[in-house]
Chain A
Amino acid sequence: AQSVTQLGSHVSVSEGALVLLRCNYSSSVPPYLFWYVQYPNQGLQLLLKYTSAATLVKGINGFEAEFKKSETSFHLTKPSAHMSDAAEYFCAVSSQAGTALIFGKGTTLSVSS
């Protein structure tokens, strides 16, 4: 069975600081992994996705994530936080054809000036 665990329901950083949001997955087969962002009262927007082409994936808005099979992790990072990055972030996994994405419980990112 697939599952996703996001460590830390709330992360707070200062503007300009490194952003690190953690995601660990469980899958018996090579997974496809996704990060989505959600702003208040809106739907989810795709940030980036891992599909086995490269372990370091670059996404929109300066975010990137690294797939580490040995650690079963897919952590999301951004070198310098901006106020506009404040939102909720979801990690998701899919590895079985014909099934739906499994989402983590989300991490709320707060950015202070």
Chain B
Amino acid sequence: DGGITQSPKYLFRKEGQNVTLSCEQNLNHDAMYWYRQDPGQGLRLIYYSQIVNDFQKGDIAEGYSVSREKKESFPLTVTSAQKNPTAFYLCASSRRSTDPFYGYTFGSGTRLTVV
């Protein structure tokens, strides 16, 4: 079955560390997205990518970085510059970002905790 796989499900980060969250899709979708979810704040867009080797900042990109070297993969790095990284991170994909009709398919999320 096609879908989006996020790993790991739970991740613990020490102060000053960079960590990378994995997101892989086998839906042949062109566009991929990273959202951060905090209680009571809904989903906030971190980065999104419409095609390979291209990505755009979202509303809260500071302290995060991404790459899109393959169509199937869109990893998110939480850098030490992100001062409050504890949150639930959701990856999503869509057939084409230029056609909003289709909506998104979401992964099951990664819960990141600073220890």
Interface string of A84-99 (1 = CB under 8 A from B): 0000001000111111
Contact B100 A105 (CB under 8 A): no
A95 contacts which chain B residues (CB < 8 A)? 100
Number of B residues, CB within 8 Å of A: 28
Taking CB atoms and an 8 Å cut-off, the chain B residues in 69-113 that contact chain A are 88, 90, 92, 97-101, 103-109, 111
- State the Cβ distance, A70 to closest chain B Cβ, in Å: 22
Chain A residue at minimal CB-CB distance from B108: A43
**When the two chains form their complex, are residues B100 and A94 in contact, meaning their CB atoms are under 8 A apart?**
yes
Residues of A within 8 A of B58 (CB): 100
- Of the candidate stretches A14-22, A45-53, A60-68, A72-80, the one touching chain B is A45-53
| B97 with A42: CB separation less than 8 A | no
Q: Taking the complex as formed, is A25 at the interface, i.e. its CB lies under 8 A from any CB of chain B? A: no
Chain B residues within an 8 Å CB radius of A46: 103-105
Contact B103 A103 (CB under 8 A): no
A-B interface, 5 closest residue pairs, ranked by CB to CB distance from nearest: A43-B106, A94-B100, A105-B42, A103-B43, A97-B98
